[in-house]
Amino acid sequence: MANQMDTLEMLQMKLEKDADKIDAFKMAQIQLEKAAHKMNLDFNILSQLKEPERVLMVSIPVKMDDGTVKVFTGFRSQYNTARGPAKGGVRYHPDVTLDEVKALSAWMTWKCAVAGIPYGGAKGGVICNPKEMSEGELERLSRRYIYEISSIIGPEKDIPAPDVYTTPQVMGWYIDTYNKLTGKANYSTITGKPLELWGSEGRGEATARGLSYTVEVAVKQLNINPSEAKVVIQGYGNAGSIAAKLLHDQGYKIIAVSDSKGGAYNPQGIDPLQILSYKATTGSVRGFPNTKFISNEDLLELECDVLVPAALEGVITEKNANNIRAKIVAEAANGPTTPEADEILFHKGVFVIPDILANSGGVTVSYFEWVQGLYGYFWDEERVNRRLKKLMVKAFSEVLRVAQKEKTDNRTAAYIYAISQVAKAMKARGIWP
């Protein structure tokens, strides 16, 4: 136990030295250590869970439209497969790093365990700026990336899916390339595919819909009236905009939204579909009629009932956590809250729905898609959503039960629950050879 505490303190010191540059993998390790200490996790299990089982780094040569060849760097991290094949998305972003991909694969491991689905965790990434690439360049990049990692993926090994700046179309290129390489018509190696390639109904809205289900339960838990609840959303991409629409349809008032260029604020409420249409036309929510400009930093600190961070990692830190005035923080993004901020929010009484619970709807419906593809039998959207809600509410209840039993914050409770499920599988398997 002393060794566990020493490691935790060292990791915290390292993080504090570079507070302006949040290292996602250090965050993931601190979160793991905190839960492990709370649950007295077997040190032999902990030592195996600190690092991914496998990390692959690949070079991706792509012939650009101007005839030059540009070499991109890609990653695939498979964190733990004790509970089943690895599962996780692939992101295209200029700031992708190996540590970020490792952290995301760890979070996927816990997310799948919390959701109660038979997967381990994985994540992929390519260092690129898709906004500066043509469709042809993106297709060549995508096909070459999946070729480079093809030896470690498959329906019973590792199942990639969409993430930041990857789309159903990218997944279509992935599955076509993989099927050409294997000579098989297999549709369960990739999820998040277009419906024409046997994707699942409801997959596009799954992350946001799952989050809305957890918010619905949390609001009841805190005795908040949805018709009087105010919602703030940072990040108005796919998850953020759909969450806004779903919550708005349930009677919540959306008072502020933002994207990378800034935000729009109106305490009287914003129509989520109108501002989404405005963004599609102008490229940003900034400047939407009858709203005031608000920075992303100030938006996080607005007084509201529900705050939805739906952008990137590390936006709620020890520097701004004391200024958070939301009653509920529902994390649509992965890792938006640092460990130091978690402690502050818990002591302030903010009800955090942690990322590994709140945004697990996407991977849950990916699981449904995988199952449907294996059987060649596909469900309608009503059935998908009904099953999604059942699993999300069950996961929420399990996390809340642990939080109340251990008298701890929801994130630590989610980790305790998830890690215990993974640890049980690891112990049952043993070590071979």
Active-site residues, by number, are 123
* CA-to-CA separations, 415 to 65, 199, 240, 243, 316, in angstroms, rounded: 46, 30, 24, 24, 19
Report the C-alpha gap between 336 and 309 in whole angstroms.
7
The gap from C-alpha 198 to its chain's centroid, in whole angstroms, comes to 23
Cis peptide before 61 (omega within 30 of 0): no
Report the C-alpha gap between 336 and 235 in whole angstroms.
11
Report the C-alpha gap between 273 and 152 in whole angstroms.
41
Report the C-alpha gap between 23 and 13 in whole angstroms.
12
List CB contacts of 336: < 8 A, sequence separation 6 or more: 309, 311, 312, 313, 314, 315, 316, 355
